[in-house]
Amino acid sequence: MSEKNVDIAPSQLGTKDFWDNRYEMELANFEENGDEGEIWFGTAAENRIIKYLIDSKTAKDSEILDLGCGNGSVLRKLRSKGFSRLTGVDYCQKAVDLSNATSKAEEEEEDNEEEMIDIKFEQLDITAPRPDFLSLKFDVVLDKGTWDAMSLSEERGDRLKAYIDLLDNVLNENGRFVVFSCNFTLNELQEQFGGSILEMVCEVPATHSFSFGGKQGVTSTGVVFRKKTS
């Protein structure tokens, strides 16, 4: 694991206060106006995650964990595609409350005739997980924007180590870690996460890209890693 070539300054987005205030506001907005709040990196990134999981023939009963689930949007989309074992964690209790509120509202929508499975949401800090959580096992772990936020700190190195320790505990052998970032390139993500426990499988292709100054680009980088067999 190396952090060479990574030169991103710490920011407010790397603090829990920022996210606590943000989700307090988003929960109030949801209660008042039904606005579910921000979908980070847009619906295109969500669709890429879902398309990747379906195209790679991920079993619908796979245990899937979303780290830093925010408003729970990715997990709700996965539920709508038939995935049935879904867990989301976030270190902000208000994000967990918002995720519960948005998924319950979806269950209660009048035109939803089929009974929907429950999505489990709970409060958890990736850098200080409870021992009982570490005994759980998942086939797929997702991160959209969470490592990006966590990395905006002077403590990036320690946070990365704690993050990889958590992955080591909760990923099944051959389990996949799917990470989406706007801050880091493919090579940087590989330098940070690839190494002793994870090996890179593939990049998640963009559904569309933009062109600027003759160069092609996409708005977020998606990379899949697999836990090595021991």
Pick one of 65, 78, 96, 126: the residue that binds ligand SAM (CB under 6 A).
126
Identify the residue among 30, 91, 177, 193 touching ligand SAM (CB under 6 A).
91
Q: Distance (Å, rounded) from C-alpha 155 to C-alpha 2? A: 14
Residue with Cβ nearer ligand SAM (28 or 173): 28
Q: What is the DSSP letter of 132?
A: H
CB neighbour list of residue 221: distance below 8 Å, 6 or more residues apart: 180, 181, 182, 184, 185, 186, 189, 203
Question: Is 146 a residue that touches ligand SAM (CB under 6 A)?
Answer: yes
Helices (H), 8-155: 16-33, 42-55, 73-80, 93-108, 131-134, 146-150
Using CA atoms, how far apart are residues 55 and 115, in angstroms rounded to an integer? 26
* Residues forming beta bridges with residue 224, ordered by sequence position: 178, 202
- Give the residue from 186, 192, 177 showing the smallest Cα distance to 220: 186
**Residue type at position 214:** G
Q: Which two tokens stand for residue 65?
A: 């964990």
Residues 204-230 as b/e (b if ≥16 CB within 10 A, e otherwise) read bebeeeeeeeeeeebebbbbbbbbeee
Interface stretch with ligand SAM, choices 24-32, 109-117, 121-129, 205-213 (CB under 6 A)? 121-129
In this structure, what token pair is assigned to residue 90? 């976030």
How far apart (Å, rounded) are the C-alpha atoms in residues 53 and 78? 9
Q: How far is the CB of 10 from ligand SAM (least distance, A)?
A: 13
Is there binding between residue 52 and ligand SAM (CB under 6 A)?
no
Binding region for ligand SAM (CB under 6 A) out of 113-121, 140-148, 199-207, 217-225? 140-148
Question: Which residue, 39 or 200, has its beta carbon nearer to ligand SAM?
Answer: 39
Residue 78 touches ligand SAM, criterion: CB under 6 A: no
Contact segment (CB under 6 A) with ligand SAM among 48-56, 125-133, 164-172, 221-229 equals 125-133
Q: Does 95 bind ligand SAM (CB under 6 A)?
A: yes
Among 48, 144, 176, 227, binds ligand SAM (CB under 6 A): 144
* 222 belongs to the binding site for ligand SAM (CB under 6 A): no
Q: Least distance (Å) from ligand SAM to the CB of residue 66?
A: 7
Nearer to ligand SAM, 12 or 185 (CB): 12
Give yes or no for residue 72 binding ligand SAM (CB under 6 A): no
Q: Give the binding site for ligand SAM (CB under 6 A).
A: 19, 39-40, 68-70, 73, 90-92, 95, 125-127, 144-146, 149-150
